[in-house]
Amino acid sequence: MRKEICAVFIFLAGWAVLVPFAGGQASPRARDLGVPFDGVTGPLNAITDVKGVEVGHTTLISGDGALKVGTGPVRTGVTAVFPRGKESSDSVFAGWFTLNGNGEMTGTTWVEESGFLEGPVMITNTHSVGTVRDSVIAWRLKHGGPDKEGYSWSFPNSAPSAGLPSAPELSR
């Protein structure tokens, strides 16, 4: 169980480091570069090889031409990582760190104070972090009930990815 939790957070840390270098070509994997890891990879060599972890994502691409605020074109997306699966309300042990001081991840105060992650980790573009956080709260209220004391609350973790390929579009 502890290895599963560590695997989730190793993935997220690796994601934060590698996303800026993602592009059209496949980059070498850490094992290919000689970085030693204990154990062997799962059949897919993916975070979803960890029992119970579910990952969902969507990419929105709409429109062409010059950027017109409020109209488009749109180039965005979101990834959801559920450490215990979408149907589970069980928390997992958690911790966090900031890699370079850029970006704002919501819900980190609760992780720091409690040591727990309650719900999914959401990864999106910088300008959608708040919208994604609000959407997770709405989703959790719709799909889950109150806690043992009768309260409905949520401190979702929503974090920006690098989003470098679309950054020039923001300056138009």
pLDDT digits (tens, 9 = 90+) for 104-132: 889 999 999 999 998 899 999 988 999 99
Which contiguous run of DSSP H or E holds residue 6?
helix 2-18
Q: Which tokens go with 79? A: 């990834």
This prediction has a pTM of 0.70
pLDDT digits (tens, 9 = 90+) for 18-41: 444 444 457 788 888 999 988 888
Which amino acid is located at 64 in the chain?
D
Which contiguous run of DSSP H or E holds residue 62?
strand 54-62
